Amino acid sequence: MADSARRLSRALGIIGLIAGVLVLGVALGWLKTRRIEVATQNQPASPEATATSTLGAFAPAKTSPLPSEPATNQTATTLTATGTNAIGDWEGRLDEILGSDGDETQKAKQLLAIFPSLPQEGQVEAAQHLSNLMPDAEYGPLGKMMADSKLAEPVLDVLMVDVLNRPNSIKLPLLLEVARAPEHPKATEAKDLLELYLEEDYGTDWNRWQAKMQQWIKDNPD
């Protein structure tokens, strides 16, 4: 009886997680569409107004300047994500790329090129556009970003929403890669999602997870 209650509780928790992710995905999709419309119209806007209209309720808090003392682990992570040549007018740079005449894949490649030089809020917004522009056939670079435990969690949130909308052959291997990395902020969430899809819980026996996942993908082709 207790085991059944635990399973029911776990199932309800995972269903709630999926519902939250889907709601966030819908909201982010609307925000991405709105941003592209603004870029196309070339309407001038202050950085504060642009950030507010783009991210709305999901806008991350403004980060404080980096301290001058030796970097802690958190500071080191921020430096890894943003690089040393940070772009000042990153919003204008995003507008320039999104409003250009290139095709979607080319725009995605340009966003990837400047991604390390963006501040956290810029990376969140760039990740939203990348998830919209990057086709499944070119998903590799986004997969590497999703697996990067050093990226800020708001960025990983956007990438997690994106990967759940990808084909099974992309989605499940990446969820497994994240789940087996205990230092990754999304490891627990990825493992819960794997359990939901595969209807099994092998704990940390990653070889059994791998075998089950491969069979599941074979039985559930894209």
Query: What is the tens place of the pLDDT at every residue in 160-187?
Result: 999 999 999 999 999 999 999 999 999 9
**Separation CA 203–CA 24 (nearest Å):** 28
Instruction: For residue 91, give every residue at least 6 positions away whose Cβ sits within 8 Å of its Cβ, in sequence order, or none.
Output: 47, 50, 51, 122
Per-residue pLDDT at 26 exceeds 90: no
Where does the pLDDT of residue 42 fall: very low under 50, low under 70, confident under 90, or very high at 90 and above? very low
How is the chain split into domains, by residue range?
1-58+81-138
Q: For residues 172, 126, 39 and 27, what is the CA-based torsion angle, rounded to 10 degrees?
A: 50
Where does the pLDDT of residue 12 fall: very low under 50, low under 70, confident under 90, or very high at 90 and above? low
Asked if 156 and 174 touch (Cβ cutoff 8 Å), the reply is no
What tens digit of pLDDT does each residue of 63-115 get?
Answer: 333 333 333 333 333 334 444 467 889 999 999 999 998 899 999 999 999 99
pTM of this prediction?
0.62
Place of tokens 């320039």: 96
Give me the pLDDT at residue 10, please: 56
What tens digit of pLDDT does each residue of 185-199 get?
Answer: 999 999 999 999 999
